[in-house]
Structure 1
Amino acid sequence: MERTRISEVLPYLPQEVRERVEKAALGDWLDVEEIRLRANAPLTLGVWGESCFLTPSGGITNHENDAYRVTQEAVQSAFAAICENSVYARLDEIRQGFLTLKGGHRVGICGKAAAEEGKIKTFREVSSLNFRIAHEVIGIADGIMDSIVQGSRVYNTIIISPPQTGKTTLLRDVTRQISNRGFKTGVADDRGELGAMYRGVPQNDLGAQTDIIDNAPKAEAILMLLRTMSPKVIISDEISCQKDAQAIALAHGTGVAVVATTHGSDIDEVRNRNILKPLFADKVFEKAILLRRDFSTLDSVTYTKAVDL
């Protein structure tokens, strides 16, 4: 069952923007993934991995000249709303470039940054906001769970897909199902996309026996989970650097199962990537799940395939 909760995002939008999004996005035919507000630029929706503009009447267009343009005042109003009128209270999140809303929705932030010692301290001026609508699909992993879990064993698994094909959504449900099968599960959620913590409470269902470290460097979170929570399984979204790979190798070496994701089009491409080569050379991963999303169909079907490594 999919929980697509665009109505939870609408109250954060200025009225003139909200009215147009409501007209365009609330029909069953439209699966909205993103709402982008850019100052003095067209109001944009992300749908099935593609972008389209909204007209002043709430219609859909691909022509910039026909699009409704968002004002700078509207961007500032939306920013104040997502900060609940207290930028200071949410500075730690803002420094990461995004805020998490109740319900698991995330808002990416761009603009003129104020930096200190080479790190972003805050944003002096906000020029664009990207509302990413949470899509939690309970049961989407049903077809592959028998490949990942057999009896009392969880296989070390890597999920491979191009961007925007649903691998985080799939990993979220894999986590939930592993946890609910009785395995203590630790999640290194550096981008906050799996659990979507809001004031200490996960907004997404990651299972009954899951512990989450949110908004921390992935490698450090993995090591902390190993030291403190005695997990049977470690979950990591997106292996992106050598430290991540080394932490996963360490987890594997302690006998903890690992399920992780990475961008890629096929196994050979991923296997030959410098960061991942040592993991494949040491046969850390036993299974690969390949995702493909068919954007040529109206309902944007996602296909999965399990492969033994």
Structure 2
Amino acid sequence: MDTMGFDRIARELPAYRDRLLGVEDSVKAQAFDIRFCLGQPVSLCGRDGIFFLTEGGGATRALTGALPAVTAEELQALFLQVCGHSVFSHEEEIRQGYVSFGGFCRAGLCGTAVLENGKIKTLRDITTLVFRIPRERQGCGDRLFLETGGLTGGVLIAGEPSSGKTTLLRDIARSLSLGKFAPAKRVAVLDQRGEISGPWDLGPCTDVLRGCPKALGLDIALRMLSPEVVVCDELAPEDFAPLQKAAFSGVTLIASVHAAPGDLLRRPLCRRLLGTGAFSLAVTLAGRGHPGEIAAIESMQGLTSPCAEDSR
């Protein structure tokens, strides 16, 4: 069972380390995230549903056996700890609703938004911390190479949250860099949140730009790294213009986007991205129950112009 990602997160949380490490391997292996919410017990959410952390270091589905509810003091101490006791140094991340820590981990945040000119300046009174469990699943991208005869064009990967988009991107980047199915290629990974690369080896021909916004990262990669392939995660509407520019630079783009099964062509943003001609293939993931598993591979060669000007 793959419990490495869960255990890595647990070791970064001293106040809960021993209890989390004591959780059954079967629960660790299926967990997507560890959730700390003010006034609620610590929960472990995953493929098999929700479990609650117990005092003795196990997991239960019953609230009656769960660890006492997280207090404001405990949540604040945990927040400061993952910020390295320097909230200021994580200001930009906090504005985007997360904090990166440990070189490979990301904690999602909930709290009260402080607005300035209609934009989030920061979050205060943190009420929830959600620690995403990073995983490696070598070989999960093999089907893409085997069924297409190798990647000769861009790929847009669509999946719902916790369906394994980042896991699949990681494996594709490694396979390209290693030359697993064809001669090795130079790969640039734009890892804004530090989740794609993490502690894993992405091969001898992969360059990683961490913590850099996609637009700036694309510019740096194209001008300085001479990549043949650029890999990035979780596209949003603001990424459309820089990606369109990169598409005309001659590099192959491999990226992911949030979309439920069957919704790829219904989302205006996805249609605009596919309409650039940058992506010759669209890959749909199987969903939360099968993280990293490819459900369908579709050719997008016939879609050459945006179908909608709006996005969401």
TM-score, scaled relative to structure 1: 0.79
Q: 1:210 corresponds to which residue?
A: 206
Distance (Å, rounded) in 2 between the aligned partners of 1:308 and 1:225:
27
Distance (Å, rounded) in 1 between the aligned partners of 2:213 and 2:165:
20
- After superposition, the C-alpha distances for 1:81-109 in whole angstroms (9 at most, x for unaligned) are 22333334444444443222325121223
Q: Kindly tell me: are residues 3 and 305 of structure 1, through their superposed partners in 2, closer, same or farther at Cα, counting changes over 3 Å?
A: farther
**Is 2:243 the partner of 1:252?**
no
Following TM superposition, by how much is the alpha carbon of 1:170 offset from its aligned partner in structure 2, in angstroms? 0.5
Gaps of 5+ in 1: 197-202
Following TM superposition, by how much is the alpha carbon of 1:174 offset from its aligned partner in structure 2, in angstroms? 0.5
- After superposition, the C-alpha distances for 1:1-43 in whole angstroms (9 at most, x for unaligned) are 957233332244354x33432332x424542321111222121
Instruction: Say which SS state the counterpart of residue 191 (structure 1) adopts.
Output: coil
Q: Kindly tell me: are residues 88 and 54 of structure 1, through their superposed partners in 2, closer, same or farther at Cα, counting changes over 3 Å?
A: same
**Is 2:235 the partner of 1:239?**
yes
- After superposition, the C-alpha distances for 1:235-277 in whole angstroms (9 at most, x for unaligned) are 1222321x4233333222222111122223446x323432233
- After superposition, the C-alpha distances for 1:104-131 in whole angstroms (9 at most, x for unaligned) are 1212233345555555555543332112
Distance (Å, rounded) in 2 between the aligned partners of 1:278 and 1:106:
29
Distance (Å, rounded) in 1 between the aligned partners of 2:85 and 2:288:
41
Distance (Å, rounded) in 2 between the aligned partners of 1:188 and 1:89:
21
Greater CA deviation, 37-46 or 225-234? 225-234
Q: 1:131 corresponds to which residue?
A: 131
2:173 aligned partner, one-letter code:
T
Greater CA deviation, 32-41 or 50-59? 50-59
TM-score, scaled relative to structure 2: 0.79
2:240 aligned partner, one-letter code:
A
Higher strand share: 1
Q: 2:168 corresponds to which residue?
A: 170
Instruction: Say which SS state the counterpart of residue 145 (structure 1) adopts.
Output: helix
Distance (Å, rounded) in 2 between the aligned partners of 1:177 and 1:209:
10
Q: Kindly tell me: are residues 304 and 2 of structure 1, through their superposed partners in 2, closer, same or farther at Cα, counting changes over 3 Å?
A: farther
Aligned length: 294
Contact kept? 1:154, 1:233, Cα under 8 Å:
no
Q: Which portions of structure 1, spanning 4 or more consecutive aligned residues, are displaced by more than 6 angstroms? A: none
1:276 aligned partner, one-letter code:
C
Contact kept? 2:44, 2:50, Cα under 8 Å:
yes
1:183 aligned partner, one-letter code:
K
Q: Kindly tell me: are residues 125 and 186 of structure 1, through their superposed partners in 2, closer, same or farther at Cα, counting changes over 3 Å?
A: same
Following TM superposition, by how much is the alpha carbon of 1:63 offset from its aligned partner in structure 2, in angstroms? 4.3
Map residues 59-208 of structure 1 onto 2, 5 A cutoff: 59-68=58-67, 69-102=69-102, 104-112=104-112, 120-147=120-147, 150=150, 154-181=152-179, 182-196=184-198, 203-208=199-204
Following TM superposition, by how much is the alpha carbon of 1:65 offset from its aligned partner in structure 2, in angstroms? 4.9
Correspondent of 1:286 among 264, 280, 288: 280
Greater CA deviation, 94-103 or 256-265? 94-103
- After superposition, the C-alpha distances for 1:177-212 in whole angstroms (9 at most, x for unaligned) are 11222212222333332124xxxxxx3333322233
Distance (Å, rounded) in 1 between the aligned partners of 2:34 and 2:103:
16
Following TM superposition, by how much is the alpha carbon of 1:136 offset from its aligned partner in structure 2, in angstroms? 2.0
2:293 aligned partner, one-letter code:
T
Q: Kindly tell me: are residues 62 and 238 of structure 1, through their superposed partners in 2, closer, same or farther at Cα, counting changes over 3 Å?
A: same
Contact kept? 1:236, 1:261, Cα under 8 Å:
yes
Distance (Å, rounded) in 2 between the aligned partners of 1:2 and 1:44:
19
1:41 aligned partner, one-letter code:
Q
